[in-house]
Structure 1
Amino acid sequence: MLIENRNYLRLHHRMLLEQINNNIEEGKEVIIEPSKNGSPTMKICLNNNNHNYIHSRYNPENEAIKMIDQLEGLDEYNHIIFVGTGLGYHIKEFSKRYPNISISIFEPNLEVLHNFLAFQSLSDFTKGQIKSFITSQNNDAIRLELQKITNKKDEKIFVYTLPSLSKQYSNEEKIILNTLKELLKGKKSNLATNVSFQKRWTINSIKNFPVVIKTPNILQDIDKTVFKDKPAIIVAAGPSLNEEIENLRYIKENGLAYIFSVGSAINALIENGIYPDAACTYDPQGHNYKVIQILKDRGIKNIPLIFGSSVGFETLDGYPGNMLHMIMNQDSISQIFFKDYKEMDIVLDAPSIAVVMFQVLCKLECNPIILAGQNLSFQHNKRYANGIKYDFISTELSEEQQKKLITIKDVNGNSVYTDDGYNSMRRELEMYIGFFHKIDVINTTKGGANIQGASFKTLQEVISTKLTQKNTIDKEWYKGNSKYNLDYINIKNQQLKETAGLFEKQMKMVASDLLEINSYLQKKQLKNMERKFNKFDKSFNEFWNNEFYNSFIAPIFRVHTKRLEEEIQTIKFEGNLEKKGLSVVELFSNFLNECQAIYQFVLPFFEELNKSINDHCLENSIKM
């Protein structure tokens, strides 16, 4: 390997360097020999003692030129993934012609990659052009690396497989293309979710915080030993739930397992006289309260509510029973108020409450975890089990919705219809099942989507083989007291009040600096403007690092903030001062206007929170 490449890998890809050093046996599979024009070419030994030439035996440079000549429309792309390197003639030729298109390299054969790095100097490529090396053939590892690429703004990706390796890497090429398609589709979905929910997540977290500090955290404030190795059922609202009502009634009456109702399933259970051990909710939307309205309307006090800290705040108003919470990763408020936040068990946001509660039950060490009513597909075009009706969503699919359905396999290997939303839930559930692989997961959903990692058994079969011990649950499992450090919360509350006042002054300072930059720009006083950039950088950094801004303002427009960070990097490398000035004024003026509007919007919520914390801390100090 070339010394400069070794140094580069040591700085930027140390694990790859160690991988190559530990796995290379020279001359085992790859042979380098001179071509007719004297340039080295490569051949790989195949299993049948034949050889596959990766490059031309006559003129590999000329072959590479012809390869790149055949590529059309590359100006539409900003990233290319090369599948297979060989000695990299084609990659080098591409780099010469398209220095502004970033490159990722997929080469699982470490001996081939070693030879590539022994022949091509990475310093000959445009600085920073090669972004990543992917060497694993494991689906999950490939997905993770591709996710890093697609996470960047507006990434348009072209995949090119070296023709001589197309047969050998056909499976990997298919995985890469399918994964990219799925990730880019998911990126649009995540972006839409962030845009839709970013304001609700923050306002909910602010409004819910007084309830959070008064209620037990299910992952730290209750006796978790009551769940260890105990069976738990996640009951979802799919149409197949209709067939399991009597089985669930039997389980409840005999205390055979903990029953956790997720989302809308609570309505079907209550209508059938079955009170689960908890109702669970996390949806940040304003209409989420309707899901558990039946419990409020009937004044049912003996069903504990487990809520995500960023749940729609209307959900918690007037809840008649005990409440417990779980801290969600979308909650930016708890992060700043809890001293030991980094050591806490945080629950990751997910496409469905079933996936959220699966995480929680795994952390509580329930075993087995049984899924019921988890159709993740449509049964006779129905969305929900009987007894579930809402005014904000139809229980049956419209003809237009039916046209957009896709086909997947059900638990019996038959075809069943689903949509992108349910499919996303299924994939994420499968991911967590794989992560918590030591826990036995059983899917009892008749006719539901097949969930990889979860064995299918009917609930009747599970009762007779797995749920054989009566009264196995602790009916008072939910009892516990909040143990958050109120002294620390009170101190942070006072500090945030001060930083909120400081933020307003910092915002005015940044606005003033922008006006001066714009003034110099209009007068063409570019040297004065350049000197002003330094002052602007300082005032903007103080604004940007303000604790109040990062906890209460930035999360509300996180999508715009991410775009701003990306645009700042582009502006930094702009050599034309006038263009740079115009970009700075336009970009930051728009950003500042949005900040000002959000500040005015969020301030009343912050002041309400500030008072609630003061009152709670005062009340507790009097009690003590």
Structure 2
Amino acid sequence: MEGEGMLIDKNIEILQQNEMHWIGNLTPSSITHEFISSEDSRAEYFKDKYGKVYRTEDLYDKTYNITPLKKEIIFVIGINSINELKELYKRINKDSFLVVIEPNLSFLNYVLYYKNLDLFQNKNVILFSDNIERLNDFIRGFFSNYGLLGLAKNINFYQTDYYRKYDMEITKQCLQIIREVVRNLILSVGNSIEDGLDGLKNNLENLKWLEKSKDVSQLKNRYKDKPAIVVSAGPSLNKNIKELKRAKNKAVIIAVDTIVNKLLIEDIVPDFVCSVERVPEVYEYFYKDKNIPKEVTLVGPPLLDTRIFSEFQGEIILPMRKGVAEYNWLKQLLVLNDDSFIEMGSSCAHVAFGLAMHIGASPIILVGQDLAYGSKEGESHASGTIYESKVQDQKAESLIQDYKIEGYYGGLVSTTYIWGYFKQWFEAQISNQQLFVINATEGGAKISFTVQKPLKETIDTYCLEEIDSVERMVKTINTYGINIGDMKDALYKELDYFSTFKEKCTDQLKSIKELKINYSSSQKKLTKAIKELQKSNYIMNEIIRHDLLRHNLQSIVVKFLWDINGVEQVINAKNILKNKEIQIKMLIPTIVCVEQIEDYINDVLKNYI
């Protein structure tokens, strides 16, 4: 076809200009449809590998409802109908984002050669074209930007002609992945400032234990290419727990807090026990009056209940929590390096897995990682754990409805949205880091990108040689070597910063409250009010810039962006009054939060360091 060389070069150049695009590898096996002929400038014929012919039309769906007065994210399924995409782009808000998802690489290959992709020169038009299993990773990365997460409640979907007519199933899969990822991201933002501040209080009070903690950066790659077994508390552990004894001293055994007492009863002493939650129940259920041997090392963030650190008999390691802004703030405060961080996700099993990655273990072997209910109704944990005798938190359960996902042995198993989120985290880590992970759970949910193998066979294959004693290795590691004087100076500087920031917030709140707007206000007065409201942009930008503010106010920031993006971009009294109300709701808790941060820092300076 004339000009095909010129188009492929031009199109590749266009797509290379935006790093947000995600494009998979085009291989012969990924080409399942081939172009046959065109009827006119809008109709084309394709044939799949089975010989079935499809007629597509490059026509916009006029029944689709557009809301051009609001910013949105519109996920579009299909790239082949370029004119259809261009027509859609013309109709949307200029600040909206068009995210084109093409799960069939055959169509990507075709348009690269034969169609002009100049639409993608617009920075708000993003392309994903890869195996649908990678869509999860793309969506998570896409929403890592606060501005885009702020549009998460303004999402729409559009199907191009081929998918409207012939492949609703792949469209449903795409929509399900997007909805699950967005829901989980919203859950991860947190619901209250109080929750974040409680965590800050623990982090600050445990600074004294950081001084005594072994330096986790010195653990980096200490067990490179040696096996590690991450022992979780899923119900399938009942069937293979006794196999673990054979792996002692031949693999690093990393247990979650929920299961450590059960392991000790079975005469299995893990090398590490991992915790992540700050709630008092973690101390009361898993550590209080528990005779955990001194050879076991505790690994958990300084977020934990301080009683855990004070009563634990063995060594303690307090790593920073990778990907969490509050710990970036602590890193600067304590002058730590990047290897002081490990991946911790949202569960103690994630901490254990993050530790296995940090020490360079391979393979990483998962046991008891069901992420689904067991064969008995409501069975969520292995026998012998605290959850066998205690009723689950009904409030938490009400937030995580049950649903079905693919099981370890095929078929469907029952899980919850929270466990689904945990599963997505594992899959993202394994895929992104290209890890060798064996799922030896022998039950529960299927975890993508893992090799499934029974625990007995896994131990017989990979746990053959003695490894260096973990207990002795930990004892050789130095503590963090934190300078208390420098830390105090840094905290006093932060107090000065927070005082200035709080004053600016208070002044802006006063100015906004004094705005007098009603439905008879002149256009001049409305324009002046907008300029005053826009001064809050400094405050919002400062919150996002400062790690500690961003962490503790992220729920306020995201809620503010959701509400603001829900207001039509039309200058009138109604919209300005809405904007005013939204900003007041943002500024009041921001001031309260900063005051609480100041109190906590003053308290730790007075009583703990």
Amino-acid identity (%): 18
**What amino acid sits opposite 1:139 in the alignment?**
I
The answer to whether the aligner puts 1:284 opposite 2:286 as a matched pair is: no
Report the equivalent of 1:608: 603
**What amino acid sits opposite 1:354 in the alignment?**
A
**What amino acid sits opposite 1:334 in the alignment?**
Y
Match of 1:564 among 528, 549, 560: 560
CA RMSD of aligned residues (A): 4.8
The answer to whether the 8 Å contact 1:83/1:173 transfers is: yes
Q: Say if 1:550 and 1:526 are closer, same or farther in 2 by CA, change over 3 A.
A: farther
**What amino acid sits opposite 1:303 in the alignment?**
V
The answer to whether the 8 Å contact 1:307/1:325 transfers is: yes
- Counterparts of 2:404 and 2:306 in 1: how far apart (Å)? 37
| CA-CA distance at 1:361 after TM superposition | 0.9
Q: Say if 1:331 and 1:72 are closer, same or farther in 2 by CA, change over 3 A.
A: closer
Q: Which has the higher contact order (CA 8 A, sep 6+)?
A: 2
Report the equivalent of 2:77: 83
The answer to whether the aligner puts 1:367 opposite 2:366 as a matched pair is: no
3-state DSSP of counterpart to 2:478:
coil
- Counterparts of 1:468 and 1:103 in 2: how far apart (Å)? 53
The answer to whether the 8 Å contact 1:85/1:113 transfers is: no
| CA-CA distance at 1:306 after TM superposition | 0.5
3-state DSSP of counterpart to 1:109:
helix
| CA-CA distance at 1:502 after TM superposition | 2.2
1:19-52 deviation line (CA, Å, top 9, x unaligned): 99x99xxxx97689784xxxx3343464799985
- Counterparts of 2:185 and 2:393 in 1: how far apart (Å)? 28
- Counterparts of 1:17 and 1:297 in 2: how far apart (Å)? 51
The answer to whether the aligner puts 1:41 opposite 2:39 as a matched pair is: no
| CA-CA distance at 1:273 after TM superposition | 4.0
Match of 2:381 among 375, 384, 394: 384
The answer to whether the 8 Å contact 1:82/1:104 transfers is: yes
Report the equivalent of 1:238: 234
Q: Say if 1:99 and 1:434 are closer, same or farther in 2 by CA, change over 3 A.
A: closer
Report the equivalent of 2:434: 437
- Counterparts of 1:188 and 1:221 in 2: how far apart (Å)? 35
| CA-CA distance at 1:139 after TM superposition | 2.0
- Counterparts of 1:375 and 1:122 in 2: how far apart (Å)? 42
**What amino acid sits opposite 1:156 in the alignment?**
I
Report the equivalent of 2:155: 156
| CA-CA distance at 1:259 after TM superposition | 1.6
| CA-CA distance at 1:324 after TM superposition | 0.3
- Counterparts of 1:525 and 1:414 in 2: how far apart (Å)? 64
Match of 1:496 among 494, 509, 512: 494
| CA-CA distance at 1:138 after TM superposition | 2.0
| CA-CA distance at 1:496 after TM superposition | 0.8
Q: How does 1:474-493 map to 2 (within 5 A)?
A: 474-479=470-475, 480-483=477-480, 486=483, 488-493=486-491
**What amino acid sits opposite 1:353 in the alignment?**
C
Report the equivalent of 1:618: none
- Counterparts of 1:422 and 1:202 in 2: how far apart (Å)? 26
The answer to whether the 8 Å contact 1:520/1:526 transfers is: no
**What amino acid sits opposite 2:177 in the alignment?**
T
Match of 1:137 among 130, 136, 161: 130
| CA-CA distance at 1:268 after TM superposition | 0.8
TM-score (structure 1 length as normaliser): 0.75
**What amino acid sits opposite 1:492 in the alignment?**
A
**What amino acid sits opposite 1:247 in the alignment?**
E
| CA-CA distance at 1:282 after TM superposition | 0.7
| CA-CA distance at 1:303 after TM superposition | 2.4
The answer to whether the 8 Å contact 1:249/1:274 transfers is: yes
3-state DSSP of counterpart to 1:582:
helix
Q: Where does structure 2 lack aligned partners over 5 or more consecutive residues? A: 28-32
- Counterparts of 1:563 and 1:236 in 2: how far apart (Å)? 35
The answer to whether the 8 Å contact 1:574/1:580 transfers is: yes
Report the equivalent of 1:350: 345
**What amino acid sits opposite 2:460 in the alignment?**
S
- Counterparts of 2:163 and 2:380 in 1: how far apart (Å)? 49
Match of 2:542 among 537, 541, 545: 545
Q: Say if 1:30 and 1:358 are closer, same or farther in 2 by CA, change over 3 A.
A: same
Q: Say if 1:533 and 1:92 are closer, same or farther in 2 by CA, change over 3 A.
A: closer
3-state DSSP of counterpart to 2:300:
strand
The answer to whether the aligner puts 1:268 opposite 2:268 as a matched pair is: no
The answer to whether the 8 Å contact 2:371/2:420 transfers is: yes
3-state DSSP of counterpart to 2:226:
coil
- Counterparts of 2:163 and 2:260 in 1: how far apart (Å)? 58
1:594-617 deviation line (CA, Å, top 9, x unaligned): 12332343333221233467x4xx
The answer to whether the aligner puts 1:306 opposite 2:299 as a matched pair is: yes
Q: Say if 1:331 and 1:174 are closer, same or farther in 2 by CA, change over 3 A.
A: closer
Aligned residues: 577
Report the equivalent of 2:319: 326
**What amino acid sits opposite 1:134 in the alignment?**
L
Q: Say if 1:598 and 1:115 are closer, same or farther in 2 by CA, change over 3 A.
A: same
Report the equivalent of 2:243: 247
**What amino acid sits opposite 1:43 in the alignment?**
E
Larger Rg belongs to:
1
Report the equivalent of 1:214: 212
3-state DSSP of counterpart to 2:99:
strand
| CA-CA distance at 1:260 after TM superposition | 1.3
The answer to whether the 8 Å contact 1:79/1:155 transfers is: yes
- Counterparts of 2:506 and 2:394 in 1: how far apart (Å)? 52
- Counterparts of 2:391 and 2:345 in 1: how far apart (Å)? 22
The answer to whether the 8 Å contact 1:85/1:116 transfers is: no
Q: Say if 1:533 and 1:391 are closer, same or farther in 2 by CA, change over 3 A.
A: farther
1:260-312 deviation line (CA, Å, top 9, x unaligned): 11130012123334332121101233422234224x45475442210123345
Q: Say if 1:522 and 1:593 are closer, same or farther in 2 by CA, change over 3 A.
A: farther
Report the equivalent of 1:205: 203
- Counterparts of 1:593 and 1:389 in 2: how far apart (Å)? 41
- Counterparts of 2:441 and 2:489 in 1: how far apart (Å)? 50
Report the equivalent of 2:30: none
The answer to whether the 8 Å contact 1:54/1:164 transfers is: no
Q: Where does structure 1 lack aligned partners over 5 or more consecutive residues? A: 616-624
- Counterparts of 1:121 and 1:470 in 2: how far apart (Å)? 59
The answer to whether the 8 Å contact 1:499/1:546 transfers is: no
| CA-CA distance at 1:490 after TM superposition | 3.8
The answer to whether the 8 Å contact 2:152/2:182 transfers is: no
